[in-house]
Amino acid sequence: DAGVTQSPTHLIKTRGQQVTLRCSPKSGHDTVSWYQQALGQGPQFIFQYYEEEERQRGNFPDRFSGHQFPNYSSELNVNALLLGDSALYLCASSLELPGAQYFGPGTRLLVL
């Protein structure tokens, strides 16, 4: 049973560029959440997708957007990258409440 997978594992971008990160949920899961983890910090919630709709959003600007596909996989898009966007981006999948969220290995983004 495959767990949560994310691609790519590492990414280097320059300021002002755009990036797309991808996530495939654990088999049987229908909900995907995205988190940003800065170095030395706990993960911060970006948003959650269920039934292809964003149903909750954290305190992140509109530069951060996402999408969920019919097969439940998801993308996170970040526009106009800033140096401060450098972080580990984690995807987590779950079933409907009150299930736990299961995390992927993350994508490490470096913005130069």
Partner 1 sequence: AQSVTQLGSHVSVSEGALVLLRCNYSSSVPPYLFWYVQYPNQGLQLLLKYTSAATLVKGINGFEAEFKKSETSFHLTKPSAHMSDAAEYFCAVRSNSGYALNFGKGTSLLVTP
For partner 1, the binding residues (CB under 8 A) are: 4, 31, 33, 35, 41-45, 48, 50, 55-56, 58, 90, 92, 97-98, 100-106
> Residue 48 or residue 68: which is nearer to partner 1 going by CB?
48
* Nearest distance, CB of residue 10 and partner 1, angstroms: 10
> Residue 20 or residue 37: which is nearer to partner 1 going by CB?
37
> Residue 14 or residue 65: which is nearer to partner 1 going by CB?
65
* Nearest distance, CB of residue 16 and partner 1, angstroms: 27
* Nearest distance, CB of residue 57 and partner 1, angstroms: 9
Look-up of token digits 């755009």: 18
> Residue 15 or residue 55: which is nearer to partner 1 going by CB?
55
Report DSSP state, residue 72: S
Long-range contacts of 28-32 (CB under 8 A, 24+ apart): 28/95, 29/72, 29/93, 29/94, 29/95, 29/102, 30/72, 30/95, 30/96, 31/72, 31/93, 31/94, 31/95, 31/96, 32/68, 32/72, 32/73, 32/74, 32/91, 32/92, 32/93
